[in-house]
């Protein structure tokens, strides 16, 4: 056996051992239990905490923003709810003006117009510093919330030990392309395996940006650190959700996952935007992994396994794949062992996911293995070599098809005045359609200097 074959065999064998142990533990800990947390046992008859919803947006498609705000306005939360829509120096203000006007008479809504683009993080901070609710819910402007999301997240946050909680993410445009279908399954696995297992130990490592709730008292302690994140002397302008989550854990707060708080978000429907997104996320993950390493001695040993599995596993898979491809190209011999191990592990993982989700479509997630090996692993390698690069790579609006009306389905029963039953137990979260209003709202705050140093 030549050197390339030996390298590939050893690397894929080590990967198989690590991945099998890690994935098995992950699935085991992700299984639901009958033991309720303290926050679930708290009576909800008393005074409910006030909630501020932050919606930063930049050049957002008016129909997408309209659907997002409609889902927030339709929340069935019985407590006080305030909504802060922060326009981050968009160039399409005239296009979104009718969307703003639709909520001009709703006292729950306030609009902050920033004079220039300062980035999502500072746009969030502008609203946080100008609000006073007990809890802060960050929502991306291309995300639609099920009607009970605020209620379920706020109920979880009644435990004072919890600093942050996230809901389950789905792809609102799941049926658009083969890629959006894969991403939707990827989101399900990330939420219901990775986050669910981490939540067993009160340490979700990333409360995802589209739908994450924070305790204001904890947030205020960390806001300056959050605002002034640097990496190798340069400002870090992306990965705000992961960084804020790590700061919460460092401060001693728990971070949780609430699987029945469902939010649907727009995902890339083409490979180019998807790979740029993955490059951003990979850089953010590598940067904050260095911070997370300091936390591991204080957390359960499973979290150490989780960090090792997510970082060492791809390295072993990449090494094995490179050696196997080199073996095929240089010696014209097929790396059967490497191919067999990768194929068998893919089939097992997809079969387990299909069984747990009760959906055969997860068998099609096997295609993601090819994308992972030939596209995502090179992207992660490039991200590791360019960690100092803080380019956003994509600051354009999310585009929807040019339809007069589009319905977005959240695959979970939703209660609320805007909900309607659909086939298969799904519920229509609201229609996206152009709005036509002839007047502008006077409920705007215009700011040109919202952050020090700007």
Helix, strand, coil percentages for the chain (3-state, nearest 5) = 50, 15, 35
- Pairing mode of beta strands 211-215, 135-139: antiparallel
C-alpha radius of gyration, the chain, whole number? 22
Distances (CA, A) of 315 to 97, 149, 308, 312, 343: 48, 37, 10, 5, 18
**What pLDDT is attached to residue 446?**
58
**What pLDDT is attached to residue 401?**
37
Distance CA 419, CA 361 (A): 26
Distance CA 177, CA 165 (A): 30
| Cβ-based neighbours of 106, under 8 Å, separated by 6 or more | 73
Assign domain 49-269+439-447 one CATH number from 3.30.300.30, 3.90.550.10, 2.60.410.10, 3.30.70.360: 3.90.550.10
The 10 Å Cβ neighbour count of residue 384 is 14
**What pLDDT is attached to residue 1?**
56
| Cβ-based neighbours of 155, under 8 Å, separated by 6 or more | 39, 40, 42, 44
Tens of pLDDT, residue by residue, the chain (454 residues): 589 999 999 999 999 999 999 999 999 999 987 544 444 544 444 578 999 999 999 999 999 999 999 999 999 999 999 999 999 999 999 999 999 999 999 999 999 999 898 888 899 998 999 899 999 999 999 999 999 999 999 999 999 999 999 999 999 999 999 999 999 999 999 999 999 999 999 999 999 989 999 999 999 999 988 888 766 666 666 678 999 999 999 999 999 999 999 999 999 999 999 999 999 999 888 888 888 888 899 999 999 999 999 999 999 999 999 999 999 999 889 999 999 999 999 999 999 999 999 999 999 999 999 999 999 999 999 998 888 776 655 544 434 434 333 334 444 333 333 333 333 333 323 333 333 333 444 456 655 433 333 3
* Residue whose token pair is 């923003």: 65
Full strand arrangement of the beta sheet holding 81-87: 143-145, 254-265, 162-171, 211-215, 135-139, 51-57, 81-87, 109-114, 444-447
Distance CA 268, CA 275 (A): 9
Query: Which of 373, 389, 356, 438 lies closest to 280, judged by CA?
Result: 389
**What pLDDT is attached to residue 292?**
85
The structure's pTM equals 0.85
Distance CA 221, CA 248 (A): 9
Distance CA 448, CA 207 (A): 30
Helix and strand counts by DSSP (H, E) for the chain: 15, 14
**What pLDDT is attached to residue 291?**
80
Distance CA 290, CA 286 (A): 7
**What pLDDT is attached to residue 397?**
42
Distance CA 312, CA 202 (A): 23
**What pLDDT is attached to residue 235?**
63
């Amino acid at each position: 056996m030549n050197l390339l074959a030996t390298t590939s065999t050893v690397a894929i064998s080590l990967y198989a051992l690590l991945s099998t142990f890690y994935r098995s533990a992950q699935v085991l800990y992700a299984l639901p239990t009958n033991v309720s947390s303290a926050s679930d046992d708290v009576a909800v008859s008393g005074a409910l905490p006030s909630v501020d919803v932050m919606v930063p947006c930049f050049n957002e498609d008016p129909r997408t923003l309209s659907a997002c705000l409609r889902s927030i306005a339709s929340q069935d939360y019985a407590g006080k709810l305030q909504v802060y829509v922060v326009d981050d120096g968009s160039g399409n203000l005239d296009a979104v003006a009718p969307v703003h006007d639709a909520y001009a008479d709703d006292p729950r809504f306030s609009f902050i117009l920033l004079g220039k683009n300062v980035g999502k993080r500072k746009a969030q901070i502008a609203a946080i510093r100008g609000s006073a609710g007990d809890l802060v819910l960050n929502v991306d402007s291309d995300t639609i919330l099920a009607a009970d999301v605020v209620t379920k997240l706020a109920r979880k946050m009644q435990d004072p030990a919890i600093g942050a909680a996230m809901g389950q993410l789905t792809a609102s445009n799941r049926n658009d392309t083969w890629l959006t279908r894969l991403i939707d399954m990827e989101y399900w696995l990330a939420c219901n395996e990775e986050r669910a297992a981490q939540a067993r130990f009160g340490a979700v490592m990333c409360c995802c940006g589209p739908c994450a709730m924070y305790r204001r008292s904890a947030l205020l302690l960390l806001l300056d650190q959050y605002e002034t994140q640097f990496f190798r002397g340069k400002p870090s302008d992306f990965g705000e959700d992961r960084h804020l989550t790590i700061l919460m854990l460092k401060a001693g707060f728990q971070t949780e996952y609430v699987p029945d708080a469902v939010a649907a978000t727009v995902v890339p429907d083409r490979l180019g935007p998807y790979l740029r997104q993955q490059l951003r996320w990979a850089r953010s993950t590598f940067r904050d992994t260095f911070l997370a390493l300091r936390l591991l001695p204080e957390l359960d040993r499973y979290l150490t396994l989780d960090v090792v599995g997510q970082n060492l596993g791809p390295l072993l898979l990449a090494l094995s794949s490179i050696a196997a491809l080199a073996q095929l190209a240089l010696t014209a011999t097929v790396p059967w062992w490497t191919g067999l191990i990768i194929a068998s592990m893919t089939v097992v993982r997809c079969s387990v996911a299909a069984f747990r989700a009760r959906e055969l479509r997860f068998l099609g997630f096997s295609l993601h293995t090819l994308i992972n090996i030939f596209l995502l692993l090179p992207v992660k390698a490039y991200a590791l070599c360019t960690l100092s690069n803080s380019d956003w790579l994509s600051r354009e609006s999310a585009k929807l098809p040019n339809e007069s009306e589009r319905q977005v389905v959240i695959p979970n029963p939703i209660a609320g005045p805007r909900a309607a039953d659909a086939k298969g137990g799904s519920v229509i979260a609201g229609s996206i359609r152009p709005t036509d209003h002839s007047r502008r709202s006077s409920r705007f705050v215009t700011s040109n200097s919202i952050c020090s140093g700007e």
